[in-house]
Structure 1
Amino acid sequence: MLSTIRFVARHPVLRVYALLLFVSACAGGAMHPYMALVAIDTLNMSGQGFALTMFVSTLTSLVFGVTIGIVSDFAGNRRRMMAILMALGVAGAGLIWLVQSAWMLALSMIVILPFANIAPLVFAGTRMEADEMAPDEAASVNSIIRTTMSAAWVIIPVAVAFVLQTGGFGVMNVWLVTALLFAVCLGLVLLFLPKTARAGTAQGGLAVYFAALKELAHPGIFLRLAAVSLIVAGEWLNGYLQTLVIKTTLGGSLSDAGFMASGVALMEIPFMLAWAAGLRRLGAVNTILAGAALYASFLVLMGSATEVWQVHALIPLAGAGAAALLSVPLSYFQDLFPGRPGLGTSLSPIEGFIGTGAAAAVFAIGTHVTTYQGTAFIGAGVMVASALLLIAIERCVPLPDKSMAD
């Protein structure tokens, strides 16, 4: 593990990629916790209007995430693409701060900010920079780079809240902070990302693009994607349940819920490094299965808790499971398309879309027929069933012939 960390720290491109991912995640951490508050309380957008805005924004992000992942394999200048995306981030957040109206928020969230996402380019580029490594070693590099995103979410939401509260600044200033962070990313790309950074070697064009989409729809690929997405849905479900269980069911406070969220995010960092080290022995599939088992156990124990401290005691278990499910699926997807990391990376936004949709469905059905804690049990069952499905798919469903890409 230490040798892999040293490899990342000494590599001129990977070092910048890690910093870029950290700062861009800081930008997300600055704006996401306050979106509903800004839209509804400050800009007087209706609840239905905000929900519609976020839904359409999710669709835009999905389409763009898949597209940029595919295009990155034959991009002639990945550095230029990153600069353009970060410039859009500055523009999107800056316009919301300057205009301060509901229609500008909706326009930016749907048309501009979904494009301010360099994660697909960073992860595809990371895999290409590590292409001479064994797959499991390259996956370890990916996991280390991914750790920077969790570090950002541990630090930035608390820091922004502290600055806004102590400085007496209005909540709209989160968009100024976001714009400045995107500007820092733009500066990092232009000043420190070497112009000699590797670009894709595949030939591009619409024919290649649609052929790539066809590959993503192959049963061997899609079934694996669906199984992993349903496993990860358990984590999304907990995002809905955790605060409700702590505050509503167990009588805790918002501080108790915040402590749980921050504690899990903090624990994810060392566990991501540990899973990265274990990837060489376990492999991506077994690591995902182990993460599913740990996180399902956490959901069962949270569903059985009778006191808030019992939920807090589960922080290490939740952190261990979440670390595997956050960092390893990306490497698993990239391994499905050797030599084309961008195409594998394009599965990640689809995973997020399926996972959040499945989590919302489980939450709606579960809370209709049982309690919040009962819904946690249902979520654990979905995770276990999906893990068994992934095992069956790996054994019985072949991957597409590599000649399809030719």
Structure 2
Amino acid sequence: MKSLLTRRRRVNPVYLAFMAVSFMVGVAGALQAPTLSLFLTREVAVRPFWVGLFYTVNAIAGIAVSLLLAKRSDNKGDRRMLILFCCLMAVGNALLFAFNRDYLTLITVGVLLSALASVAMPQIFALAREYADSSAREVVMFSSVMRAQLSLAWVIGPPLSFALALNYGFATMFIVAAVLFVACIGLIWFALPSVARVEQASQVAIAQLSAWKNKDVRLLFLASLLMWTCNTMYIIDMPLYISSVLGLPERLAGLLMGVAAGLEIPAMLLAGHYVKRFGKRKMMLFAVASGAVFYLGLVLFQSRAALMVLQIFNAIFIGIVAGIGMLYFQDLMPGRPGAATTLFTNSISTGVILAGVLQGTLAESFGHYSVYWAALLLSLGALAMSVRVRDV
């Protein structure tokens, strides 16, 4: 009888709703991101430099919008309503890409809609953190399981993205993404809670204002920026590198992304389980070192089998950094889950800015192979910075 009551207590419908929302938003995003470089190259017919520029402008807009909304989300208003608005913008963005092929329109209106849509995921995680704190749930595992939903989404999303785009056209792919965002809006409206703000003590407020002055926050931000620069350069370049340089099937790109995402799930869950034993700092160092091994492998090996095996290191790298990295920021910035989560996602967006410029310039000037040498050097720089961040 006691075990039955315990099991019922654990099956929390709000918990399940958070899992479902993060999964569905993840699938919708994983449908659009993997084939974006191919979409711009083939459908919009632009050169590699303009592909990279699109990623850069998109990231700059994302940072600007998220910074404007982050402070408001932590201080006033219903965070759930903000998430709903962002998902609505995501629907508009997907439909625009489905039916428009004008580069100028996509890099202006499309980028604005995309920037507003990109705020949804960090706000979902911030709401989840507030819910976990208010309901006394175990924060690390709750966040890790939620982040695992994103990895599961990326197991499904990239192969499905390439299958839809190559077999039925990019318009169909973007329409499917729009339908998923509409489903998310319904689930968020009916299932996610509105969590009341917790009033912070004055000394906590002072600590909030000086968070960026903290050396550890700055170092972690810069290290995270370099990590995501490497990862985004790989995502942008890999579909083009595989087809145009290695002469391998285009669908292999989706398969590689799906395999890596599938391996990320156990990496995240194991990281959430062992973080109390080893600490966030050691877990992050292990992850960044695995990333350096991954990019070294891309420099040295080009066969299909080698690319598949290397996804193990890629999964460890992204799986741990994406889960533990966000919590690292939150612990270094107590009392500001929205701002801390947004700072983490802005390190991703800033990495995309650098990645877009670097990938486009390197690929056009020196060829696709040079992109992976640059990623290797940046990953080593991220490792050097991560060593200097204190444990929490």
Aligned residues: 382
Contact persistence 1:295–1:321 (CA under 8 A): yes
Judging changes above 3 Å, is the alpha-carbon distance between structure 1 residues 50 and 355 closer, same or farther for their aligned structure 2 residues? closer
Q: Which residue of structure 1 aligns with residue 121 of structure 2?
A: 119
Contact persistence 1:263–1:315 (CA under 8 A): yes
Q: Which residue of structure 1 aligns with residue 110 of structure 2?
A: 109
Are residues 1:263 and 2:263 paired?
A: no
Are residues 1:379 and 2:348 paired?
A: no
Q: Which residue of structure 2 aligns with residue 3 of structure 1?
A: none
Cα distance in structure 1, aligned partners of 2:74 and 2:149: 23
Cα distance in structure 1, aligned partners of 2:365 and 2:100: 44
Deviation at 1:346, TM superposition (A): 1.5
Find the residue that maps to 1:313 and give its secondary structure.
Answer: helix
Find the residue that maps to 2:387 and give its secondary structure.
Answer: helix
Identity of aligned residues (%): 23
Q: Which residue of structure 2 aligns with residue 201 of structure 1?
A: 198
Cα distance in structure 2, aligned partners of 1:84 and 1:364: 32
Candidates 285, 308, 319, aligned match of 1:289? 285
Contact persistence 1:231–1:383 (CA under 8 A): yes
Judging changes above 3 Å, is the alpha-carbon distance between structure 1 residues 133 and 226 closer, same or farther for their aligned structure 2 residues? farther
- Letter of the 1:222 partner, please give it: R
Deviation at 1:110, TM superposition (A): 2.5
Judging changes above 3 Å, is the alpha-carbon distance between structure 1 residues 96 and 371 closer, same or farther for their aligned structure 2 residues? closer
- Letter of the 2:197 partner, please give it: G
Cα distance in structure 2, aligned partners of 1:311 and 1:98: 34
Contact persistence 2:211–2:217 (CA under 8 A): yes
**Structure 1 unmatched runs, 5+:** 1-5, 400-406
Judging changes above 3 Å, is the alpha-carbon distance between structure 1 residues 248 and 209 closer, same or farther for their aligned structure 2 residues? farther
Contact persistence 1:272–1:323 (CA under 8 A): yes
Are residues 1:305 and 2:301 paired?
A: yes
Q: Which residue of structure 2 aligns with residue 189 of structure 1?
A: 188
Deviation at 1:149, TM superposition (A): 1.3
Contact persistence 1:8–1:14 (CA under 8 A): no
Deviation at 1:145, TM superposition (A): 0.5
Candidates 320, 323, 326, aligned match of 1:324? 320
Contact persistence 2:284–2:386 (CA under 8 A): no
Contact persistence 2:56–2:356 (CA under 8 A): no
Candidates 130, 133, 152, aligned match of 2:132? 130
Q: Which residue of structure 2 aligns with residue 93 of structure 1?
A: 94
Cα distance in structure 1, aligned partners of 2:327 and 2:262: 22
- Letter of the 2:144 partner, please give it: S
Deviation at 1:330, TM superposition (A): 0.8
Find the residue that maps to 2:388 and give its secondary structure.
Answer: helix
Deviation at 1:301, TM superposition (A): 3.0
| Alignment root-mean-square deviation, CA | 3.8
Deviation at 1:329, TM superposition (A): 1.0
- Letter of the 1:183 partner, please give it: V
Q: Which residue of structure 1 aligns with residue 276 of structure 2?
A: 280
Are residues 1:31 and 2:27 paired?
A: no
Cα distance in structure 2, aligned partners of 1:170 and 1:202: 50
Deviation at 1:101, TM superposition (A): 5.3
**Map 1:1-400 → 2, pairs under 5 A:** 10-36=11-37, 38=39, 41-42=42-43, 52-97=53-98, 104-117=105-118, 118-131=120-133, 137-163=138-164, 169-194=168-193, 197-202=194-199, 215-216=211-212, 218-239=214-235, 242=238, 252-305=248-301, 307-359=303-355, 376=372, 379-394=375-390
Deviation at 1:106, TM superposition (A): 3.8
Most deviating of 248-257 and 20-29: 248-257
Deviation at 1:82, TM superposition (A): 1.8
- Letter of the 2:112 partner, please give it: V
Deviation at 1:111, TM superposition (A): 2.3
Deviation at 1:25, TM superposition (A): 1.8
Judging changes above 3 Å, is the alpha-carbon distance between structure 1 residues 9 and 110 closer, same or farther for their aligned structure 2 residues? farther
Judging changes above 3 Å, is the alpha-carbon distance between structure 1 residues 393 and 176 closer, same or farther for their aligned structure 2 residues? closer
**Normalized against structure 2, the TM-score is what?**
0.81
Contact persistence 2:155–2:260 (CA under 8 A): no
Per-residue Cα deviation, 1:60-100 (whole angstroms, up to 9, x for no partner): 11122233333222233122222222222223333554677
Contact persistence 2:98–2:172 (CA under 8 A): yes
Per-residue Cα deviation, 1:333-373 (whole angstroms, up to 9, x for no partner): 11111222112112123211332345467658977998866
Q: Which residue of structure 2 aligns with residue 402 of structure 1?
A: none
- Letter of the 2:172 partner, please give it: N
